[in-house]
Amino acid sequence: MKVALFASAACIVVTSAAHAQTQSADPALDEIIVTAERRSGDLQDTPVAVTAITSEDLQARGVQSVRGLEGLVPSLSIGSQTNGPGANSATFWIRGLGQIRAGNGSEPSVPLYIDDFYYPGISGNVLRAMDIEQVEVLRGPQGTLFGRNSIGGAIRYRTRKPTEDFEGFLEGTYGSYDRIDLIGALNVPIGDKLAVRLTGATMQTDGYVDEVIGDRKGGATENRLARAQVRFRPTDAITIDLSYELSESESRGSSTYISQISPTGTLAARWNSRPTNLPRYTQDLASPCTYCTYGGLQIDNFNDTKANHLRFVADWQVSDSLELKWLSGRSQIDDTYSNDLDGSPAHVARQGSTNSIESWSHELQAIGDLGTKFHYVGGLFYYKEELETLGSQFSPNAAGIVNEARASSLTRRESLSAYANLTLDVTERLSVTGGLRVGQEEISIRTLSILPVAGMSNSGSSDEDMVLPLLRVQYDWSKDVMTYATVSRGFRAGGFNIVPANADTIPFQSEEVTSFEVGARTEFWNGRARVNPTFFYTDYKNMQINRQYTPPPPAPQAPTSILENAGEAHIYGLELESDFAVTDAFRLRVSGAFLEGAFDRLNPGVGVNLGSPLPRLPRWSYTLGGQYRVELASGVRLTANLDYSWRSEQASAASNVDALVVPSYGLLNGQVELRSADKRWSIAVFGTNLADKEYVTGGLNLLTLVGNLRWDMGRPRELGVRLRFNY
């Protein structure tokens, strides 16, 4: 019934707007150029489910990081990393496909790309929206063109490039919880062929979850970034870009709320059996309020990440019908964290890890036309990654004595693939696209136990072939109405679990999806209305889920969690994005999604049943936003934005435990900005979560293992002011 109402509402919006015809001089929505098909094109002519947010919209709507995209993109869910303490890392889910957890060789289902370069892992992946030209969020499998595990979609950042103009900006922000941001950029042309752009930022904010014992505050973050870009154009046909980026992020404590403690949990029961004066782990140590926790006496929760990225792009416009690109990049990300899993003065469980990931990628692209009817994108892609990990876990053994389990590992991945997309314009209105990516993913791992028993080692390796086809039919009914239908496949690599107690390696297999998608892209009302509905159905095989695991004797009995393949599932849904220039001054935005899914078949002993909810799949979500823009008598422009986003309840993980269901919530965000007539300065007052809604972003059920139920609290109401100078 709600699906019918949702679809009917879209039709009513379209019909009512179409009847409100006006003169051609009336305001029209701006054209949005996207590169979702590896070539530039109008959003309304692109047969891909993509949401594009320009730099102007990012600034006007107060989006400060990738987390702010959740309320702007249908079917996008951003979860906290509940098995780690960092506020600078997150998991991304699109249409119910995402990453259950980090580490242990798990790959993201919705990867991040910066200037078309894959961002390895999730450490420090809460990217800030600074000196950004545009953000694009692609929904549905993107493996044919993007490869590397884009089984659910992809999030693409495009940074501002050096230009021939001398310009820059300086921006400062002060807000709640002593938030202080300072961001700046400087663009310097050198002659008529060379230009340099420098970007720097420092951002910090205090935490918002108080620890009753001690003076620490969970959720505090500090970030620093420096980026240097050089653009060289020796001829009009050749562009060479070189960039280097260094970032550091620090998170002090998680935003954890312990809602329930079970003294019968495996580790809690072991701790409580100790004849000691230290406090017993009981419900008395649960969080006394939603924005506070007892915290540990000796354990400092933290997550520190340092990343550097070197990127090189050579673009040669060989002719009007052929463009060649070469992309080479290297990334290194070093990450250390420590996390008190029990959140109390009792020493029930703690985990930590030091990780170093180094990756290299090389890609050759060819983009062109064969005559007037054939258009193609093709290329070769190579990726190599090395991940070194030193993981530790403190927990009481069967005698109640706290022991440390520590193991090191080295994981290597190597991927080689070739891809091609060929579009044939059958007629002026009808086009057919066929795409294919073929390749191989290799993974190997070596582990070594250090504590409590030194010298135990294991190794493993696997090779997997990927064949990712795509077939699409597109029909242009008029210059303002386009429809398309797509069938495509997606692939996410498998890997190995690492068990710290005995350095064991437990494999899990790759995931595969087959996606069916039908969409329409429409404009009317003389360009003042844009309505884009999309329907999809996804067939999901070898779904990776989390399970608690205790290594068998004679290994030390130190429980942990592992990834395994659950079986098969299906997911379907309807998405709507619409935008209306109602008047010269007022713009209305309406978007939403209906999502539904279920398990179809389960492997034995996976810990879920056919009725268990799929993770990160809210049945309903919507966003209603408005923008009012008016020029004052002095020439100063006032822009006011207000967005309300709501989503229904969703499971934070695949589980039979109802307590892991994140309750529904809605957030109200707003901003008012004044900008000078010459655009040299602007001042903005903004607020997030204006209604001060208490909500959680994720949960972790440790009742059986540790003896608690953990939630990560969302940020409370925050107010701030931002001042910007352009020069």
Q: What is the dihedral of CA 650, 656, 659, 660, to 10 degrees?
A: -40
- 541 forms bridges with which residues in the sheet? 512, 568
At 524-550, the pLDDT tens digits run: 999 999 999 999 999 999 998 887 777
Spatial CB neighbours of 658, under 8 Å, sequence gap ≥ 6: none
Separation between Cα atoms, residue 109 and residue 150, nearest integer Å:
5
- 492 forms bridges with which residues in the sheet? 511
267 SS3 class: helix
At 342-366, the pLDDT tens digits run: 888 888 888 888 999 999 999 999 9
Give the residue from 71, 229, 28, 124 showing the smallest Cα distance to 646.
Answer: 71
For the segment 645-658, the average pLDDT, to the nearest whole number, is 82
- CATH code linked to domain 2-726: 2.40.170.20
Is the model's pLDDT at 618 over the cut of 60? Answer: yes
Is the model's pLDDT at 21 over the cut of 80? Answer: no
Spatial CB neighbours of 253, under 8 Å, sequence gap ≥ 6: 85, 207, 209, 211, 216, 217, 218, 219, 220, 295, 301, 302
Is the model's pLDDT at 629 over the cut of 80? Answer: yes
Residue 4's pLDDT is: 44
Residue that wins the pLDDT comparison between 628 and 458 = 628
Residue with tokens 């469980």: 349
- 722 forms bridges with which residues in the sheet? 173, 684
Separation between Cα atoms, residue 570 and residue 510, nearest integer Å:
17
Output the CA angle 124-128-133, nearest 5 degrees: 130
Residues 204, 80, 403, 293, CA torsion sign: positive
At 462-487, the pLDDT tens digits run: 998 999 999 999 999 999 999 999 99
List alpha helices for 413-460, DSSP H: none
Look up residue 128 and give its DSSP letter. Answer: B
Is the model's pLDDT at 19 over the cut of 60? Answer: no
At 572-603, the pLDDT tens digits run: 999 999 999 999 999 999 999 999 999 999 99
At 430-456, the pLDDT tens digits run: 999 999 999 999 999 998 888 777 777
Identify the band that residue 556 occupies on the pLDDT scale cut at 50, 70 and 90: low
153-159 and 504-508: which strand pairing?
Answer: unpaired
Separation between Cα atoms, residue 76 and residue 70, nearest integer Å:
6
Is the model's pLDDT at 141 over the cut of 50? Answer: yes
At 104-138, the pLDDT tens digits run: 567 888 999 999 999 987 777 777 778 999 999 99
Lowest-confidence region among 154-163, 396-405, 676-685: 396-405
Separation between Cα atoms, residue 318 and residue 320, nearest integer Å:
7
- Average pLDDT of the chain? 88
Residue 3's pLDDT is: 44
**Max Cα distance, the chain (Å):** 84
Give the residue from 239, 240, 415, 238 showing the smallest Cα distance to 311.
Answer: 240
At 264-298, the pLDDT tens digits run: 888 899 888 887 677 888 888 888 888 888 876 55
At 77-110, the pLDDT tens digits run: 987 755 554 667 788 999 999 887 655 567 888 9
Separation between Cα atoms, residue 527 and residue 26, nearest integer Å:
9
Phi first, then psi: give them for residue 345, nearest 5 degrees. Answer: -70, -20
Is the model's pLDDT at 407 over the cut of 90? Answer: no
At 307-354, the pLDDT tens digits run: 999 999 999 999 999 999 999 999 999 999 888 888 888 888 888 889
> Do 364 and 399 touch, CB atoms closer than 8 A?
no
Residue 701's pLDDT is: 83
Output the CA angle 461-155-628, nearest 5 degrees: 165
112-114 and 153-159: which strand pairing?
Answer: parallel
Containing H/E element for 578? strand 567-581
Residue 7's pLDDT is: 44
Give the residue from 594, 672, 690 showing the smallest Cα distance to 628.
Answer: 672
Q: What is the dihedral of CA 605, 610, 612, 618, to 10 degrees?
A: 140
Query: What DSSP line would sit under 471-526, residue for residue?
Result: EEEEEESSSSEEEEEEEEEEEE--EEEEETTTTEEEEEPPEEEEEEEEEEEEEETT
Separation between Cα atoms, residue 78 and residue 543, nearest integer Å:
19
Separation between Cα atoms, residue 251 and residue 81, nearest integer Å:
12
Separation between Cα atoms, residue 75 and residue 555, nearest integer Å:
43
Residue 505's pLDDT is: 84
Separation between Cα atoms, residue 433 and residue 451, nearest integer Å:
55
Residue 298's pLDDT is: 56
Identify the band that residue 199 occupies on the pLDDT scale cut at 50, 70 and 90: very high
Identify the band that residue 8 occupies on the pLDDT scale cut at 50, 70 and 90: very low
3-state helix, strand, coil in the chain (%, to 5): 5, 60, 35
Would residue 437 be called left, alpha or beta, if left means φ above 0 and alpha means ψ between -120 and 50 degrees?
beta
Separation between Cα atoms, residue 237 and residue 254, nearest integer Å:
50
- 673 forms bridges with which residues in the sheet? 639, 684
- 517 forms bridges with which residues in the sheet? 486, 536
CA distances from 209 to 171, 241, 261, 660, 710 (A): 28, 43, 19, 20, 13
Q: pTM to 2 decimals?
A: 0.91
Is the model's pLDDT at 24 over the cut of 50? Answer: no
Q: In three state form, how does the secondary structure of 50-96 look? A: EEEEEHHHHHHCCCCEHHHHCCCCCCEEEEECCCCCCCCCEEEEECC
Residue 97's pLDDT is: 93
Cis peptide before 554 (omega within 30 of 0): yes
For the segment 691-712, the average pLDDT, to the nearest whole number, is 88
Separation between Cα atoms, residue 113 and residue 11, nearest integer Å:
35
Domain range list for the chain:
2-726
Residue 558's pLDDT is: 64
